[in-house]
Structure formats: C-alpha cells, structure tokens
Amino acid sequence: MITIIPAIDIIDGKCVRLSQGDFATSKVYREDPVEVAKEFEAEGITRLHVVDLDGAKLGRVSNLAVLEKIVKATSLQIDFGGGIKTDSEIQQVVDAGVTFVSIGSMAVKDPETFNKWVQTFGPEKFFLGADVRDGKIAVSGWLEQTGIDAVEFIQEQMTKRISNVFCTDISKDGLLEGPSLTFYRHLLFACPGLRLVASGGVSSLEDIRQLNQLGCEGVIIGKAIYENKISLKELKEFL
C-alpha cells in the first residue's frame, strides 16, 4: 500500500505552499508547523516531508529549530531538506532525529561531496529529490534548470545504492491538476528496484489510487490537504 506523506514547507517558521516553485506565489496556511504535524499524526499519518524553503533559497539550513520542535512533539518519520550544503549541516539534521535527509541540488551540483555523504552516513539515510521540468533536472529550489536527463540521473544514483527517491514534476506542483502518471510509469520501468515517492499535482483520492497502481512507494501531498481538496479522514483509506 502506498504511503501518504503530507508536506510541510517552511518560510519564516510558518507553514506555506508555493505554486510551481515560484517564491512569489508563497501563501501562508498555518502559523505553527508543529501543530500541523501533530494534527497529521493524530489522524494516523506516519510520515512527514519537511522542506526548509528559506534554506533552499539561501543555500544553508535556516529552519532547524522548527524541525527539532516537530521531532520532539511527534513520533513521525520525517525527511528534511532545503539548503543542506555541508557535512556539519547533515550531522545537525541527523542529530535532530530525522529518518531521512532530503538532498536534491547537491547531488547534481557537487556529486563528489554527495558521494562522500553517502559513504559516511549510508545510502539508506538519504531521500534523493529529483525535481523535473520537461524531463530535465532543476535545482536550487527549482530556480535553475539543467540539461541533465532525469531518468539517467536517477539510474546513476541507483548504482550508489540510493533507492529512496522523490520526484516532483514542477509543471504540476501546486496546481491541483493531477500527477505526472506517464512520466512516473516510464521512470519505474527504467529503474527496477526504485522506491519512488511521487510529488506534485495530487488533487484527489483517484490520483493516489492511480499512483498506488503504478507501484509508487509513497506520495507527497501538500496543497490538496491545505486547500481541503482531500481531507485527512478520506486518506484513512490508505493508512
């Protein structure tokens, strides 16, 4: 059964959402991400995707204190990312008690450093983010487009025993128009053994059912929950 993973995106310590990665579209949904996390847990959620959007934009971890509060207040399995650039930041996030460290841009822009982290902390500690626009990888909070083919990039990472990957189609993110089923189907076919978490565009229970049928390991849901397109009670079908 597919794992439901609500997203908490943080700017200035508050729970926000963007559309298509555009910081100008930032909308505050809740003032206290800790309370949001506790509400998710109370409804049976076990996983949480936490993104430090300030960190992603500035290139350094900026909301570690919020992460630490969520970890202390819940028993959720948490992945955390956004702006992680150094060994010490990886260690801080691990010490905070996360299940996974989410890495995206660094795996693309500085593969040597990422490889060193994988060797030091183990591949199972990382949740690799592949953000995709038109089949190509985007980095730096989606602000930079590369010419790197997304499927080839993930195939290469799997040779390093990285298997936990979340893939976001930026063109779908925050628009509530449905996920990129065709791309995910292609990706799963091209990458046997991939534990794929889909992200972006999910707007209905039917979207989740289709992703489950494709063989996705999990699905990250953000705006659909905050805009009440999908209720936490409806999600109990998958919990």
Residue 28's pLDDT is: 81
Give the mean pLDDT of the chain: 91
R_g over Cα of the chain: 16
| pLDDT surpassing 80 at residue 21 | no
Among 196, 199, 197, 198, CA closest to 173: 199
Cα-based distances in Å from 183 to 82, 135, 188, 214, 230: 24, 8, 9, 11, 23
Query: What CA–CA distance (Å, rounded) separates 212 from 219?
Result: 9
pLDDT tens digits, 170-223: 876 666 678 999 999 999 999 999 999 999 889 999 999 999 999 999 999 998
Question: pTM for the whole thing?
Answer: 0.92
Is residue 54 flagged as an active site residue? no
Task: Determine which one of 52, 79, 131, 207 is catalytic.
Answer: 131
Q: Express each pLDDT in 82-124 by its tens digit.
A: 989 999 999 999 999 999 999 988 999 999 999 999 999 999 9
- Residue ranges of the domains in the chain? 3-238
Alpha helices by DSSP H, listed for 122-233, are 150-158, 181-190, 205-214, 223-226
Q: Which two tokens stand for residue 130?
A: 């592949």
Report d(CA 41, CA 141) in Å as an integer: 27
Tens digit of each residue's pLDDT (9 = 90 or more) over 25-76: 667 878 899 999 999 999 999 999 999 998 888 889 999 999 999 999 999 9
Q: What is 3-238's CATH number, 2.40.40.20, 3.30.70.1450, 3.20.20.70, 3.30.1280.10?
A: 3.20.20.70
Confirm whether 149 is a catalytic residue: no
